[in-house]
């Protein structure tokens, strides 16, 4: 059996970041994934500019477009556009973006094994994983970055009871219409009880999708089909269509023990205003690597990872939830006045652009709003 200093399951942004940072610090790291890379990943592919600041290398080679305009509609009506004047997000194809992160992990010294599905997890002082093909490896520490379903996290007894929502995405060959969306993201509101549909521009396709709360998954395909028809793309060729779930950690759900931790989507680290999780995946990967190195140096325990996530990440996720609760609550109660106010009040979208560029945070912006956040928190606590 092969021995490592750490094993990382899942080569998405969280896993590749953890593996890269550990390997760059001299650790012997095994990174495994059930897929062969590059592989398709169901995701809109919007990367907030603040995400770049977490990476020690450029991502220019995989950027398909950079958006600075946000077009907002309510069921295709009441449209308005806000222009941030400079990009607030990059658009990428996840197979290329994730392959870049994996390549950098390999360059740092991480060993990668593809087509490896972990079937068994054992603890015998260390952590041993065994794959379906009989391969096994052991290490003192295991990082589960295996996505929102996180089967290995479940084997470890972590991540139970984290709430979730659902998303459905199609990649559409829109021909000349792709150019119409250059530099622009379209967000369509008005879905019950909350949620939104999106159009994200890429170099040759449009990413079109929807995110809805639990219990609404059955409506996703129908809603995306209606949205696509409204956009005049009913007959446009579809490269791929796939659904995925998004986990949303809200409280102190257990995401670490002495030997195992969850990172990225496995830990439910996505914000409830945009449902974006790539920024938090990379951030949690860095925090995971830091905790593994600290434990290996003498602490011997990964439980500090949960405390670090609670201190460094959860304030942002709680603030994003407050914003989402206020935004969708107002939209549900008074859609026309709220859309009018949103179109003519610069504060909301200027704050949003500042957060996406890394010039501010959700927590800082919530603190600038008097009274309403406190009311929203009390209402959420009472639910």
Query: Is residue 17 situated within a structural domain?
Result: yes
Structure tokens of 263? Answer: 């990172």
Residue of 325 and 383 predicted with greater confidence: 325
Q: Is the pLDDT of residue 370 over 70?
A: no
Whole-angstrom distance, CA of residue 301 vs CA of residue 296: 8
Query: Is residue 179 situated within a structural domain?
Result: yes
Beta sheet of 89-92, edge-to-edge order: 46-48, 89-92, 63-67
For 247, phi then psi, to 5°, come to -95, 145
pLDDT tens digits for range 180-219:
999 999 999 999 888 999 999 999 999 999 999 877 767 8
Q: Are residues 334 and 214 in the same domain?
A: no
Q: How many domains does the chain have?
A: 3
pLDDT tens digits for range 136-191:
999 999 999 999 999 999 999 999 999 999 999 999 998 888 999 999 999 999 99
Domain enclosing residue 332, as ranges = 322-381
CB atoms inside a 10 Å sphere around CB 36? 8
Query: Is residue 298 situated within a structural domain?
Result: yes
Average pLDDT, the chain: 93
Please give the average per-residue pLDDT across 243-270, as a whole number: 95
Q: Is the pLDDT of residue 371 over 60?
A: no
Q: Are residues 32 and 119 in the same domain?
A: yes
Pairing of strands 118-123, 238-247: unpaired
CATH number at residue 137: 3.50.50.60
Q: Are residues 37 and 114 in the same domain?
A: yes
Q: Are residues 171 and 216 in the same domain?
A: yes
Q: Is the pLDDT of residue 355 over 60?
A: yes
Residue of 374 and 264 predicted with greater confidence: 264
Beta sheet of 127-131, edge-to-edge order: 2-3, 136-139, 127-131, 118-123
Q: What is the helix (H) or strand (E) element at residue 376, kind and residue range?
A: helix 372-381
Q: Is the pLDDT of residue 13 over 80?
A: yes
pLDDT tens digits for range 265-289:
999 999 999 999 999 999 999 999 9
Please give the average per-residue pLDDT across 368-372, as a whole number: 68
Q: Following CA atoms 99, 104, 110, 112 in sequence, which dihedral angle do they give, to the nearest 10 degrees?
A: 20
CA 189 to chain centre: 20
With a pLDDT cut of 70, the percent of the chain lying above it is: 96
Q: Is the pLDDT of residue 42 over 90?
A: no
Q: Are residues 152 and 170 in the same domain?
A: no
Asked if residue 43 lies in contact with residue 147, where contact means CB atoms within 8 angstroms, the answer is no
Mark which of 227, 246, 265 sits at the end of a domain: 246
Regarding pTM above 0.75, the answer is: yes
Query: Is residue 317 situated within a structural domain?
Result: no
Q: Are residues 231 and 176 in the same domain?
A: yes
Q: What is the helix (H) or strand (E) element at residue 63, kind and residue range?
A: strand 63-67
Whole-angstrom distance, CA of residue 53 vs CA of residue 70: 22
Asked if residue 249 lies in contact with residue 317, where contact means CB atoms within 8 angstroms, the answer is yes
Query: Is residue 57 situated within a structural domain?
Result: no
Q: Are residues 67 and 175 in the same domain?
A: yes
Q: Are residues 100 and 18 in the same domain?
A: yes
Q: Are residues 199 and 108 in the same domain?
A: no
Helix and strand counts by DSSP (H, E) for the chain = 13, 19
pLDDT score recorded for residue 1: 65
Q: Are residues 117 and 141 in the same domain?
A: yes
């Amino acid at each position: 059996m092969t021995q490592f200093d750490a094993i990382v399951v899942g080569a998405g942004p969280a896993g590749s970041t953890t593996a890269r940072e550990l390997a760059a610090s001299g650790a012997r790291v095994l990174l495994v994934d059930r897929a062969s890379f590059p592989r398709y990943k169901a995701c809109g592919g919007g990367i907030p500019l603040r995400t770049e600041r977490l990476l020690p290398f450029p991502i220019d080679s995989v950027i398909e477009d950079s958006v600075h305009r946000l077009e907002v509609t309510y069921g295709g009506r009441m449209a308005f556009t806000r222009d941030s004047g400079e990009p607030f997000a990059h658009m990428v194809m996840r197979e290329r973006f994730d392959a870049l992160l994996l390549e950098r992990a390999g360059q740092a010294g991480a060993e990668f094994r593809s087509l490896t599905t972990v079937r068994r997890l054992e603890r015998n002082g260390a952590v041993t994983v065994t794959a379906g093909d009989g391969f096994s490896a052991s290490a003192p520490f295991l990082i589960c970055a295996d996505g929102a379903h996180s089967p290995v996290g479940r084997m470890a007894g972590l991540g139970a009871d984290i709430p979730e929502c659902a998303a459905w995405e199609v990649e559409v060959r829109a021909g000349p219409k792709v150019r119409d969306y250059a530099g622009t993201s379209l967000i369509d509101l008005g879905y019950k009880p909350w949620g939104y549909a999106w159009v994200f521009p890429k170099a040759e396709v449009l990413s079109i999708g929807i995110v809805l709360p639990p219990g609404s998954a059955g409506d996703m395909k129908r809603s995306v089909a209606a949205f696509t028809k409204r956009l005049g793309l009913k007959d446009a060729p579809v490269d791929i269509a796939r659904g995925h779930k998004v986990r949303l950690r809200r409280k102190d759900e257990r995401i670490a023990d002495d030997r195992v931790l969850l990172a990225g989507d496995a830990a439910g680290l996505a914000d409830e205003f945009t449902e974006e999780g790539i920024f938090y995946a990379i951030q949690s990967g860095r925090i995971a690597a830091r905790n593994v190195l600290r434990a290996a140096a003498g602490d011997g325990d990964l439980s500090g990872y949960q405390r670090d996530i609670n201190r460094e990440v959860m304030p942002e996720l709680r603030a994003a939830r407050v914003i989402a609760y206020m935004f969708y609550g107002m939209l549900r109660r008074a859609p026309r006045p709220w859309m009018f106010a949103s179109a003519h009040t610069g504060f909301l979208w200027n704050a949003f652009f500042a957060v996406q560029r890394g010039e501010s945070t959700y927590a800082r912006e919530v603190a600038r709003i008097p009274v309403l956040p406190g009311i929203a928190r009390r209402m959420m606590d009472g639910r």
